Amino acid sequence: MSGMDAYSGLLELVKKRRTHRRFLPDPVPDEAITKIVDVARWAPSGFHTQSWEFVVVRKKDVKDKIVAVLEKYGPPIKNPAGETSGGSFRDAPVFIILFCDWRARAGLPAGARERDDLVANIFCSSMAGAFLYMHLAAASLGLASQWYSAAGGPDSEREIKKILGVPGPLKIYDMMALGYAAQPPAPKEVRSLEEMIHYDDCGLKDFRNDGEVAVYAEKTHA
């Protein structure tokens, strides 16, 4: 495969990856779950600490307990207006929760591991890469996925760790709901490449002003 063919395939996959909020209850093969985690573990990590751990939740009673926690502490679990058919977030047959093991800071240089703010930045970048790899892998397998970042909130995290029996040093980065899409996602609008790419000694005039940022924010919240 040529470089351009590989790039075209990657771009197609990235465009295919979307956040889904309606799922069918159909089970996801164990092999697919393993493939998703296998891809994620190859993500780059700060100083190759590989501080991630993946907890796969498939039992309905455990999933129901987690959903109850998210309904209590997270934002309302509702589907966007206009989605009127098919399943929901709760029907996703699999949750994959990405944890960061802070004990891995032992692998960081002394100047970094002694400062919580630097450790947090390094681990956040590492987790973000692994989590994105998970979603791309899911899309490549024809599966739908949803981010549910509220799982990492302090109250949600505390309760979810109790449910799962996860030890103290591990912190929730994010949670993926995984399954088959109940319906296609709505069209996605992205800002133009020309609008957001800048070179060398760019200045204030090259970036959006406050009004333009506010207008786009209104569109995304519509």
pLDDT tens digit sequence for 48-70: 999 999 999 999 999 999 999 99
Q: What is the pLDDT of residues 143-175, one digit of tens each?
A: 999 999 999 999 999 999 999 999 999 999 999
Q: How many CA atoms lie within 13 A of 162 on its CB side?
A: 8
Buried b / exposed e across 113-134, counting CB within 10 Å, b at 16+? Answer: beeeebbeebbeebbebbbebb
- Give the pLDDT score at 3: 85
Predicted confidence (pLDDT) at residue 210 exceeds the cutoff of 60: yes
pLDDT digits over 114-145, tens only? Answer: 999 999 999 999 999 999 999 999 999 999 99
* pTM for this prediction: 0.91
Distance between CA atoms of 76 and 67, rounded to whole angstroms?
11
What is the residue extent of each domain of the chain? 21-185
Query: Considering the domain 21-185 in this protein, what is its CATH number?
Result: 3.40.109.10
Indicate the pLDDT class of residue 194, thresholds 50, 70 and 90. very high
Sign, Cα dihedral of 55, 61, 67, 69: negative
Q: How confident is the model at residue 84 (pLDDT cuts 50, 70, 90)?
A: very low
